[in-house]
Amino acid sequence: MKKVGVLVSGRGSNLGALIAAQDKAPYRIVLVISNVEGAGGLARAADAGISTLVIPHKGKTREEFDAELDTTLRAAGVEIVCLAGFMRILSDGFARAWEGKLINIHPSLLPAYKGTRVHERVLEAGETQSGASVHFVVPKLDAGPVIAQASVPVHPGDSPEALAARVLAVEHRLYPAALRLVAEDKVRMEKGLAVFV
């Protein structure tokens, strides 16, 4: 049973999916940390009886904030860290220290559409397909090796909100499945690749 820490900044629907799946999965979420007080994800965790913590980032350097995160996660015995709508860029040092143990979900078919305003940009470009990706985190933004992806169609006349909702529904299935693979050591990061073993 792997101990998981989840970092959130917002509503935490992906956290909710990870919580819902954990009874039948080889991981336990032992700590949820947010940099934002009142983030919806904190309430979801508390409702599930999971320890929560707010670590504000204001007034700290990125390195100071990340050092506090690192110490807290390690003190809780966390073995895998999941970013779930965590809206802070992590320092290179943090990403390297947790390499292979730090994963993120992004609402696009990476390597396409890294960064923000994903659904708007997908629609502006006239794509007919979008999706979600779970990847290992490396120092470069949204650039780590992909563990799992799921695609959804883009419908004519889609709004960014409609597309986001369609993608989010697959995110909620994809993230627990990908975390399970990492928790079972069925995939690991090796030489910049996600290697299935």
- Judged by the rule CB under 6 A, the positions of this chain that interact with ligand GRF are 10-14, 84-85, 105-107, 168, 171
In the annotation, is 119 catalytic?
no
Per-residue exposure over 173-195, b if at least 16 CB sit within 10 Å of its own CB, e if not: ebbbebbbbbbeeebbbeeeebe
For residue 13, the minimal CB distance to ligand GRF (Å) is 3
The residue type found at 132 is A
Between CA 105 and CA 156 the distance in angstroms is: 25
Q: How far is the CB of 71 from ligand GRF (least distance, A)?
A: 24
- Could you say which of 57, 106, 155, 172 is catalytic? 106
Report, in Å, the least distance between residue 139 CB and ligand GRF. 18
Nearer to ligand GRF, 1 or 108 (CB): 108
> Between 91 and 130, whose beta carbon lies closer to ligand GRF?
130
Q: How many residues would you count in the chain?
A: 197
Q: Helix H segments across the chain?
A: 13-21, 40-47, 62-75, 92-97, 118-124, 160-183
Q: Whose structure tokens read 């809206």? A: 87
- Least distance between ligand GRF and beta carbon 14 (Å): 3
d(CA 128, CA 150): 14
Helix%, strand%, coil% for the chain, nearest 5? 35, 25, 40
Q: Give whichever of 13 and 35 is closer to ligand GRF, judged by the CB atom.
A: 13
* Residue 10 or 197 having the CB closest to ligand GRF: 10
Place of tokens 């996660």: 73
Active site residues: 106
